[in-house]
Amino acid sequence: MAAAAVAAAGVFNPAEAMSGLMMPPGAAEMPAEDTIKELMAAAITTAKGLGASYSDVRIGRYRNSIVFTREQQIVNTADTDSIGAGIRALVDGTWGFGATKILTKDGVVAAAREAVAIAKANRIARDQPVVLSPTQAYPNATWKSDFKIDPFTIPIEQRADLLLKANAEALKVKGVRFVNSGLLFVKEDRNFASTEGSVISQTIIRTAIPFQITAVSEDRSDFQTRGNVVTPAGRGWEYVLEQDIVGNAKKWAEEAAQKLTAKSVEVGRYDLVLHPSHLWLTIHESIAHPTELDRALGYEANYAGTSFVAPPDKVLGKLKYGPEFMNIQGDRSQPGACATIGYDDEGVKPEDFMIIKNGIVNDYQTTREQANWLKWWYDANKRPTRSHGCSNADNWSSVQFQRMPNVSLLPGTKEVSWDDIIAATDRGIGIVGDGSFSIDQQRYNAQFGGQVFYEIKGGKIVGMLKDVAYQMRTPDFWNSMDMIGGKKSYQFGSAFNDGKGQPGQSNAVSHGCVPSRFRNINVINTGRKA
Amino acid sequence: MTDRRREPKRLIDPSVLPADAIMSRERAEEIIKKIVSFSKADDVSVNLGSGYQTDVRFAANQMSTSGAVMTSGVGIQSTIGKKHAVATTNDFSDESLKSVVEKSEALAKLSPDDPEVMPPLGPQTYLPVSGYFDSTANLTPEARARAALTALEPARKAGDLQAAGFIIVNAGSNALGNSKGLFAYNRSTNANYTLTVRTTDGTGSGWVGVEHPDWTQLNFADVANRAIEKARLSRNPVAIEPGRYTVILEPQAVGDLVQLMGGSLAARAADEGRSAFTKQGGGNKIGEKIVDERVTIFSDPQDPQLLAQPFDGQGLPLARQVWVENGVLKQLFYSRFWAQKQGKTATGGPSSIKMVGGTTSLDDMIKSTPRGILVTRLWYLRQVDPRTILYTGLTRDGTFLIENGKISKSIKNFRFNESPLFLLNNLEAIGPAVRIGGTEQGGPIVMPPIKAKDFNFTSLSDAV
């Protein structure tokens, strides 16, 4: 994950507004469905006519709606709306991409011509031609994400009221002086067409509830925060209601205040019991990123980095990532997860696949271009050489490339809970919530903080700790895992702002996981005096 | 090869390239006036951006993705009494602009009062800045592809090297205006090139980044040579014990850590008790010595190495602002609300950062070091403790042991836990300041190489 901030906010949907407010017809609307199809056809026909062996076009509308508050006041209310077309052309084995906000025939044709011109200009620097693995054509496909109530229909004052009530509850706790909270909704209308005959239309909604509470000591010698209390989801307003932020705010605020007087951790080695609200980020950094095939083969070397899970012929079927009960699935199918989608951004219908099977590396995340790079492995295992459907662009103006699907640690066979694991731990630290995170460019050495840290002694939580971070080497860490939770303890952790690529793109990600225990991990103390 | 004679001179037909691809001052003023005329709110503020961005990416000695994006957008904030809201669009037709004005007004009416709402700024005077270069704005795809070849050709020829690089070129404009007559306009270009060369045995990696508003100032061949040299020099790193070391940080590494002080320069957070610049017992640390007296850090849109936008997002003029002078915290920035509340002058935040350089060359720093570590750059920096601006992160793409005044060997990368405040208190020498390239689109940053003692490396990394 990189630092890319999420530009939040979406649009108030006048037609469905519960306030009954009359809004004018917006000119900033997507063209009609038939017009979109005509524009898409014009773009790819142009590219083909100018020599492209393959072309695809995405016409999308990307909306955000935000309300941010602090304490008992509004900080910001914003709706953003962006519409445009991005056209990719493959000419003589070289890519070009052109994007425009001008959604007229002239506009998209010009962008298609530019995509072809760039591809042709780059031919002088080509070495190996790009070859796409096969995919089925979907001439009339539609899909929508798993939401019940479109949050864009909820009036702004209702959203603000909920946040201010939750803030008020948090501020009742002694020592708590600041609360920053918000509601962030995303709605994407994505249309896709390719020269291979696919025409796909999808609607995606996502919801985030940023919420951070700050407690300050009376003499101002210390301040502590509790944040990341609710994980984002690929769901609608119903998700906001389920979180009961008003009912939970006091508990989160007490945790912030408790951290002021918590014991500063003693450095050393501990058994760590990691809650899913924390572990998802460790999975994200130390499993999901290093099993991106473009990283493993050097395609991200200049920015995000490469991977220790490389080269593929040395690790596939060979590298022991963790214990035999460790199974990591890649998918874009789990309802409510942020990477879930019907069709990826090159028209592939994604499938579920096992990245790590019984502790051994089994596959990588791929796109159509990348799947061919593993043909030898798929042939040897009698699997078809096809993309896993991991192509994604964060906007119409961004070129699609490999982004992670949902990458999840599957539950163990026994129904073990968070409490069961704590009860089985003699000397350890339980960590809830994700905090500071940093990992090297090959994903070996990582350091993670958290939100709330519990000291575990003799199978019981005996108090709270602060200034905790653990340092790890990825393969050692995962091989030290000796207990995992069962199905009932499985939950998602998500973020909207996973950064990758040049120019940088920001992606929504989810990782399902269960509470798990890791033995003998190096814990450092991060508290210092200025 | 394609037949170059048949390629058009311009790649977009001017007849379909809209007038606002890079919006002129006149066009921006016209749109803002139009939006103001549509407004029924007490006040309306407009933020208008336009740009043309092109890029070339290559990796594993292959061409990768390349593109061109033309976009623009407008953000409209309507204020009614103490209520305000923003709506944005990228459709500039009259119908769309009217619709977005009305949407922001409707949203504002529904929003709760903001007790911190400030009246709009009236007309301001801005410093002239010449940060727009035709050489950058009018670049062709062929020129970008040829630039990529300056790294790809030697890497392919060498046989033991793999090049991955990224060239990104921006030309754009930014304008602000409101119903009280404020108008600000700035046009700028930028060219950024970063290159990583790795050895095919996977043990060496070298990185170089350069940036300038003027494309002709980038020396592509020099970047390739330096990255190749560093990749080869960094092969077969050995492990040395983590701990506290004297370090020589190249300008990029200094920038990676020191620019993070920018996030703590808000007066409000300090006054509220939640910043590294909070004074124990209340107030902030303005006037206190916070780092070595050789350290001066400032922002200045007119500095020839910075050439930054001379106004902030609200239209406040940005001039030279000295944050740290001779080691003393000279100022923090005040938002308009906080300035009014505290009886101070409102100032914009740091839109550019420069640390004043010294005269010790990198070579001289190495020569004067009996034992130390030379660091090319830092990576994946994340805040660990806001109370001390403590960050963790790792060294990357060229980390070397210095023994008896010479680079003696390549060493494995380290994780560090360190604060720019501690670093700049442990200063031993400062070199000439240069514009750094590793910020991509993060704004202009100029930093010197420095030598400092007791840098806190906390663990080893196997990553190359």
Decide: A398 and A504 in contact? Cβ < 8 Å. Answer: no
* Structure confidence at residue B105 (pLDDT): 96
> Would you call A200 an interface residue with chain B, using a CB distance cutoff of 8 Å?
no
Q: Count Cβ atoms within 10 A of the Cβ of residue A32 and give its class: 0-12 exposed, 13-18 middle, 19 or more buried.
A: exposed
- Provide the whole-model pTM: 0.90
What DSSP line would sit under A391-408, residue for residue? EE-SSTTS--EE---EEE
- Write the residue in A77, A78, A447 that is nearest to B392 by C-beta: A447
Contact A122 B63 (CB under 8 A): yes
For residue A222, the chain B residues in CB contact (below 8 A) are 387
Decide: A30 and A205 in contact? Cβ < 8 Å. Answer: no
For residue B147, the chain A residues in CB contact (below 8 A) are none
CA distance A396 to chain B (A): 10
Give the C-alpha separation, B71 to B320, whole Å. 31
For residue A1, the chain B residues in CB contact (below 8 A) are none
- Write the residue in A21, A119, A297 that is nearest to B60 by C-beta: A297
- SS3 assignment, position A276: helix
CA distance B277 to chain A (A): 9
- Write the residue in A9, A117, A439 that is nearest to B11 by C-beta: A117
> Would you call B305 an interface residue with chain A, using a CB distance cutoff of 8 Å?
no
- Closest of B41, B115, B104 to residue B77, by C-alpha: B104
Give the C-alpha separation, A3 to A16, whole Å. 35
> Would you call B88 an interface residue with chain A, using a CB distance cutoff of 8 Å?
yes
- SS3 assignment, position A413: coil
- Write the residue in A80, A439, A528 that is nearest to B385 by C-beta: A528
For residue B56, the chain A residues in CB contact (below 8 A) are 122
- Closest of A439, A269, A446, A526 to residue B418, by C-alpha: A526
> Would you call B106 an interface residue with chain A, using a CB distance cutoff of 8 Å?
yes
**Residue A132 per-residue DSSP state:** P
In chain A, residues 85-104 whose CB comes closer than 8 Å to chain B: 86, 92, 94-102
- Write the residue in A14, A95, A109 that is nearest to B65 by C-beta: A95
Decide: B236 and B411 in contact? Cβ < 8 Å. Answer: no
Q: What residue has token string 């919530």?
A: A433
For residue A305, the chain B residues in CB contact (below 8 A) are 379, 396, 463
The angle formed by the CA atoms of residues A72, A76 and A81, to the nearest 5 degrees, is: 150
Contact A526 B390 (CB under 8 A): yes
Q: Count Cβ atoms within 10 A of the Cβ of residue A382 and give its class: 0-12 exposed, 13-18 middle, 19 or more buried.
A: exposed
- Lookup: tokens for B97: 């602009």
Interface test with B, best of A438, A473, A523 (most B CBs within 10 A): A438
Decide: A392 and A405 in contact? Cβ < 8 Å. Answer: no
Give the C-alpha separation, B303 to A467, whole Å. 41
Give the C-alpha separation, B54 to A121, whole Å. 13
- Write the residue in A77, A82, A216 that is nearest to B73 by C-beta: A82
The CATH number, out of the four listed (3.20.20.140, 3.30.2290.10, 3.30.420.40, 3.30.565.10), of the domain defined by the range A14-261:
3.30.2290.10
- Which chain A residue lies closest to B164 (C-alpha atoms)? A302
ipTM: 0.87
The 10 Å Cβ neighbour count of residue A203 is 16
For residue B464, the chain A residues in CB contact (below 8 A) are 306, 442
* Structure confidence at residue A19 (pLDDT): 28
Q: How big is the A-B interface in CB pairs under 8 Å?
A: 341
Give the C-alpha separation, B239 to B247, whole Å. 16
* Structure confidence at residue B198 (pLDDT): 98
In chain A, residues 288-347 whose CB comes closer than 8 Å to chain B: 297-303, 305-306, 308
Decide: A327 and A320 in contact? Cβ < 8 Å. Answer: no
Decide: A43 and A54 in contact? Cβ < 8 Å. Answer: no
Give the C-alpha separation, A276 to A288, whole Å. 15
The 10 Å Cβ neighbour count of residue A390 is 30
Cis peptide upstream of residue A311 (ω within 30 degrees of 0): yes
**Residue A389 per-residue DSSP state:** S
Q: Count Cβ atoms within 10 A of the Cβ of residue B156 and give its class: 0-12 exposed, 13-18 middle, 19 or more buried.
A: middle
Give the C-alpha separation, B412 to A204, whole Å. 44
* Residue B307, phi-psi category: left (phi > 0), alpha (psi -120 to 50), beta (remainder): left
- Write the residue in A100, A442, A528 that is nearest to B70 by C-beta: A100
Decide: A443 and A285 in contact? Cβ < 8 Å. Answer: yes
**Residue A25 per-residue DSSP state:** P
Query: From the CA atom positions of chain A, what is the Rg in Å?
Result: 24
CA distance B460 to chain A (A): 7
Residue B96: how many CA atoms within 13 Å on its side-chain side? Answer: 18
- Write the residue in A81, A96, A157 that is nearest to B112 by C-beta: A157
Residues of chain A within CATH 3.30.2290.10 domain(s) are 14-261
- Lookup: tokens for B178: 């409101």
* Structure confidence at residue A28 (pLDDT): 52
**Dihedral (CA of B252, B254, B255, B260) sign:** positive
Interface test with B, best of A19, A39, A61, A79 (most B CBs within 10 A): A79
> Would you call B11 an interface residue with chain A, using a CB distance cutoff of 8 Å?
yes
* Structure confidence at residue B71 (pLDDT): 83
Contact B107 A302 (CB under 8 A): no
Please give the class, per CATH, of domain B15-222: alpha beta
> Would you call B288 an interface residue with chain A, using a CB distance cutoff of 8 Å?
no
* Structure confidence at residue A362 (pLDDT): 98
Q: Count Cβ atoms within 10 A of the Cβ of residue A426 and give its class: 0-12 exposed, 13-18 middle, 19 or more buried.
A: exposed
Rounded average pLDDT per 10-residue block, chain A, 530 residues: 28 26 43 95 98 98 95 90 96 96 94 96 93 97 96 94 97 97 97 98 98 93 93 98 98 97 96 98 98 97 96 98 98 98 98 98 98 97 97 97 98 98 98 94 95 98 97 97 98 95 94 98 86
Q: What residue has token string 């920053």?
A: A180
Query: From the CA atom positions of chain B, what is the Rg in Å?
Result: 24
* Residues in Cβ contact with A29 at an 8 Å cutoff, skipping those fewer than 6 apart: none
Residues (pLDDT < 70) of chain B are 1-20, 440-442
Query: If residue A85 lies in a helix (H) or strand (E), which one and from where to where?
Result: strand A73-91
Decide: B88 and A61 in contact? Cβ < 8 Å. Answer: no
Q: What is the 3-state secondary structure (H, E, C) of chain B?
A: CCCHHHCCCCCCCCCCCCCCCCCCHHHHHHHHHHHHHHCCCCEEEEEEEEEEEEEEEEECCEEEEEEEEEEEEEEEEEEECCEEEEEEECCCCHHHHHHHHHHHHHHHHHCCCCCCCCCCCCCCCCCCCCECCHHHHCCCHHHHHHHHHHHHHHHHHHCCEEEEEEEEEEEEEEEEEECCCCEEEEEEEEEEEEEEEEECCCCCEEEEEEEECCHHHCCHHHHHHHHHHHHHHCCCCECCCCEEEEEEECHHHHHHHHHHHHHHCEHHHHHCCCCCCECCCCCECCCCECCCCCCCEEECCCCCCCCCCCECCCCCECCCEEEEECCEECCCECCHHHHHHHCCCCCCCCCCEEECCCCCCHHHHHHCCCEEEEEEEEEEEEEEECCCCEEEEEEEEEEEEEECCEEEEEECCEEEEECHHHHHHCEEEECCCEECCCCCCCCCEEECCEEEEEEEEEEECCCC
- Lookup: tokens for B387: 């109370």
Contact A444 B146 (CB under 8 A): no
For residue B165, the chain A residues in CB contact (below 8 A) are 302
Interface test with B, best of A21, A30, A77 (most B CBs within 10 A): A77
Residues of chain B within CATH 3.30.2290.10 domain(s) are 15-222
* Structure confidence at residue B442 (pLDDT): 65
Contact A120 B2 (CB under 8 A): yes
> Would you call B387 an interface residue with chain A, using a CB distance cutoff of 8 Å?
yes
In chain B, residues 194-233 whose CB comes closer than 8 Å to chain A: 194-196, 198, 205, 207
Distance of CA A458 to the CA centre of its chain: 37
